[in-house]
Amino acid sequence: MVTRGGRRRVTIADVASRAQVSTTAVSKVLRDAYGVSPAMKERVRAAIEELGYRPHAAARAMRGRTFTVGVMLPHLRNPFFADIVDGLTDELSGTGYQAILVQGGSTQKAEKAAMDALVDRQVDGILLVAPLLARARLEEVARQVPVVVLGRHERSPHFDAVFDDDETGAELVVNHLIELGHRRIAHITHQDNSTARPGDLLHVIRADTYRRVMREHGLEDEIAVATTYYSEEGGYDGAQELLRRPSRPTAIFAGADQAAFGVLAAAHDAGLSVPGDLSVAGYDNTKLAALPNISLTSIDQPGVVMGGTAGRLLRERIEGRTTAVRFSVGPSLIVRRSTAAPADLPEA
Amino acid sequence: MVTRGGRRRVTIADVASRAQVSTTAVSKVLRDAYGVSPAMKERVRAAIEELGYRPHAAARAMRGRTFTVGVMLPHLRNPFFADIVDGLTDELSGTGYQAILVQGGSTQKAEKAAMDALVDRQVDGILLVAPLLARARLEEVARQVPVVVLGRHERSPHFDAVFDDDETGAELVVNHLIELGHRRIAHITHQDNSTARPGDLLHVIRADTYRRVMREHGLEDEIAVATTYYSEEGGYDGAQELLRRPSRPTAIFAGADQAAFGVLAAAHDAGLSVPGDLSVAGYDNTKLAALPNISLTSIDQPGVVMGGTAGRLLRERIEGRTTAVRFSVGPSLIVRRSTAAPADLPEA
DNA sequence: ATGAAAGCGCTAACAC
DNA sequence: GTGTTAGCGCTTTCAT
């Protein structure tokens, strides 16, 4: 390593000699372990304070905990992820744990590398947000370090799961559109690069539920799905494709707000008014959805609660819990001005 | 630590015995260091492959590099940050370096803790995005580990700086509005909790430039600044305040797109049309600004380039460069439909 | 209650 | 070109 100018780091030995005790004693005080007298504890604390000592995480990692939890996010473009991280950070604050984030990307290879990076850095626990890898791969990691998976519905004995009830959420949206009088309701879903069981992936659940509800209302012939991406571009492309079809949809349910924004753009560019010519609904209830110019009907997921819960479950696992926990939150429909009765029908 | 079920991690010793060489040899191959024959290199590579060996980052951290760079972001809500991280990740890909992110928060205390967390984890370099701490504090860290600061204009001998020319950017916006015929142009700036020299902070530069350009055009009496936050809520509150003032502005220049979105919402709620009754401009040219329903005039900053450059500078510093580099990128004005000539004036 | 000492996985002197 | 070995800063037996 390049030698830096800075003076040598304060180590546990410095603290020990300052406090006139052994390094063992200092270590015990640091971890609040058994076997130090109050007086000694006080002396050590004072020395730590005076020297501005902070434990060296890498050195700790060689023996015990790093007091670090790793979070893998697919990317940083969905504000919903920010809620998750805020919830987690909140839950962790005061516990001495620090969250570090890595970007998983959109390929399984990149995701594996990101996960390995966390394992190699010896984090005490890992939160995986909407991972792509097959369950077996996740369990492989879960065998080495406590894992919580957020956004997948899997039931695994080796890791905990935190998710929103995507089936209910999708149902709420499709029912809402049907109640408004729509029949030609289309859906935009996400093209994944995943080897997970499809039924465990949130976008697959949303799409399947869309199909099921359509069928339940005798609308099987109107089912139209565009498979692009949960992104602005994906929504734009998907909407363009759907709007070109012979029987143009009167409503589009995009599986995520980000995609719904693209749908709004495509509608605009096609000269269609929303909701006059086309109703649009999203999922996630991001802040932007509430902007008056957008006013997007969406499904609210309590991201902060989900992130906080994930943090708590991770801490429990780090403390020794080995039985799996699944935590599901209930979504709610937020109706805004982007959805209305179709034009060719009388108002309700 | 809780003992996990997983089998023991593969270590360098396992690789060495499998390849029938010393651990030194393996270490050398790993780091592409001098002094290994091609034949031996081949044997070692094969053994690594067969055993699925990955170096233990924490152990490396005790002696040499961790091949990790740390990034501190204030929060995850600005998509511009995603561009920066993408640029960095791109630049780092293939070099063996992994980026880990931590959230700095909005207080200096939280920011210090986040920075310390990176230092304690022995990252090889740190990228600080729009930090709040005083220059002296940043230099303290820079003495221990290579640092690049993104988004501050500081000239320090101890760290590199990457920033956008905020003065030019703000000039472009204000001049654009003046050319359209506006006189009552207001500005929304960010309330920081910083002890940095004000002149080094991007939001202060944008606000000061706004004032200067206004004065240069004889509009000093029209200067109106609301100090809230670069966020949707901040923009909303700031706009409300500005629109309540006796001589209502005909244009608002928000220092960031996020805040401009809030301005659009406030305008809508006040029954004002954009750009009919009020022109609105932002800064950052986030993707949402391009959505037809928003169509926000903004300043484009090449976030990917900035992040990539930061990564390159960091690598150079890690390799031994000690002289400071400053890298400034040029902003450009993107005119959209949120700005137009004020209503009470004849069209140009 | 306290401390000496071994050792976590790796790198870098240094010897051969 | 190759291997031996001494630590890096901590935690954890295990004596005392």
Co-location of A201 and A212 in the same domain: yes
Residue-wise pLDDT tens digits, A93-132: 988 899 999 999 999 999 999 999 999 999 999 999 999 9
Confidence of residue A7 (pLDDT cuts 50, 70, 90): low
Length of chain B equals 348
Co-location of A180 and A290 in the same domain: yes
Chain A residues close to B293, C-beta within 8 Å: 264-265, 268, 293-294
Catalogue the E-assigned strands of B152-305.
160-164, 185-190, 224-228, 251-254, 279-281, 298-300
Co-location of B83 and B114 in the same domain: yes
* CA angle A74–A77–A83, rounded 5-degree value: 85
CB-count burial class (<10 Å; 0-12, 13-18, 19+) for B191: middle
Q: Return the nearest residue to C11, CA–C1'.
A: B63
| pLDDT over 70 at A346, yes or no | no
Domain count, chain B: 3
Split chain B (348 residues) into runs of 10 and give each run's mean pLDDT. Answer: 59 91 91 86 92 90 88 95 96 92 94 93 95 96 95 96 97 98 98 94 97 98 97 96 95 97 96 96 94 94 97 94 95 98 68
Residue-wise pLDDT tens digits, A308-321: 999 999 999 998 89
CB A4 within 7 Å, strand D: no
DSSP-derived secondary structure for B23-90: HHHHHHHHHT-S---HHHHHHHHHHHHHHT----HHHHHHHS---EEEEEES-S--HHHHHHHHHHHH
Interface test with A, best of B10, B76, B139 (most A CBs within 10 A): B76
Phi and psi at residue A39, in whole multiples of 5°?
-65, -45
Residue B26 lies in a domain: yes
Question: CA-to-C1' distance for B62 and D6, Å?
Answer: 14
Co-location of A40 and A119 in the same domain: no
Co-location of B207 and B293 in the same domain: yes
Long-range contacts of A151-158 (CB under 8 A, 24+ apart): A151/A202, A152/A196, A152/A200, A152/A201, A152/A202, A153/A199, A153/A200, A153/A201, A153/A202, A153/A205, A154/A196, A154/A197, A154/A200, A155/A324, A155/A326, A156/A324, A157/A324, A158/A324
Co-location of A22 and A47 in the same domain: yes
Co-location of A42 and A149 in the same domain: no
Q: What is the distance in angstroms between the Cα of A221 and the nearest Cα belonging to chain B?
A: 32
Phi and psi at residue A194, in whole multiples of 5°?
-115, 150
CB A23 within 7 Å, strand C: yes
Pairing assessment for the beta strands A298-300 and A332-334 based on DSSP bridges: antiparallel
Q: What is the pLDDT of residue A44?
A: 92
Q: A46: domain CATH number?
A: 1.10.260.40
CB-count burial class (<10 Å; 0-12, 13-18, 19+) for A218: exposed
A103 closest CB neighbour out of B85, B144, B294: B85
| pLDDT over 60 at A213, yes or no | yes
> Which of A121, A101, A281 has its CA nearest to residue B9?
A121
A116 closest CB neighbour out of B54, B77, B100: B54
Q: Are B74 and B130 in contact (CB under 8 A)?
A: yes
| Mean per-residue pLDDT, A85-92 | 96
The answer to whether the Cβ–Cβ distance between B261 and A288 falls below 8 Å is yes
Region for A230 from its dihedrals, namely left if φ exceeds 0, alpha if ψ lies in -120 to 50, beta otherwise:
beta
| pLDDT over 80 at A347, yes or no | no
Q: What is the pLDDT of residue A35?
A: 81
Dihedral sign, Cα of residue A99, residue A105, residue A108, residue A114: negative
Residue B242 lies in a domain: yes
Confidence of residue A2 (pLDDT cuts 50, 70, 90): very low
Co-location of A82 and A112 in the same domain: yes
Distances (CA, A) of A30 to A15, A26, A61, B115, B117: 11, 6, 15, 21, 16
Q: What is the pLDDT of residue B4?
A: 52
CB B27 within 7 Å, strand C: yes
CB A35 within 7 Å, strand C: yes
Q: What is the pLDDT of residue A1?
A: 39
Co-location of A271 and A225 in the same domain: yes
Co-location of B188 and B283 in the same domain: yes
Co-location of B231 and B189 in the same domain: yes
| Mean per-residue pLDDT, A275-292 | 95
Co-location of A196 and A283 in the same domain: yes
Q: Are A68 and B121 in contact (CB under 8 A)?
A: yes
Instruction: Report the percent of chain A where pLDDT is more than 90.
Output: 85
| pLDDT over 90 at A222, yes or no | yes
Prediction pTM value: 0.92
Look at A58 and A345; give whichever has higher pLDDT: A58
Three-state secondary structure of A52-89:
CCCCCHHHHHHHCCCCEEEEEECCCCCHHHHHHHHHHH
Residue A24 lies in a domain: yes
Residue-wise pLDDT tens digits, A132-186: 999 999 999 999 899 999 999 999 999 999 999 999 999 999 999 999 999 999 9
Residue A172 lies in a domain: yes
Residue A316, SS3 per DSSP = helix
Residue A116 lies in a domain: yes
Q: A114: domain CATH number?
A: 3.40.50.2300
Q: What is the distance in angstroms between the Cα of A52 and the nearest Cα belonging to chain B?
A: 12
Measured torsion, CA atoms of residues B274, B279, B281, B285, in degrees rounded to the nearest 10: 40
Alpha carbon B155 to its chain centroid, in Å, reads 17
| Mean per-residue pLDDT, A198-224 | 97
The answer to whether the Cβ–Cβ distance between B101 and A98 falls below 8 Å is no
Tokens of B333: 């004005």
Please state, in angstroms and rounded to a whole number, the distance separating the CA atoms of residues B126 and B122.
10
Count of H-run helices and E-run strands, chain A? 12, 12
DSSP label at A9?
A: P
Residue B345 lies in a domain: no
Residue A323 lies in a domain: yes
CB A247 within 7 Å, strand C: no
Residue A104 lies in a domain: yes
Domain that holds residue A33: 12-54
| pLDDT over 90 at A68, yes or no | yes
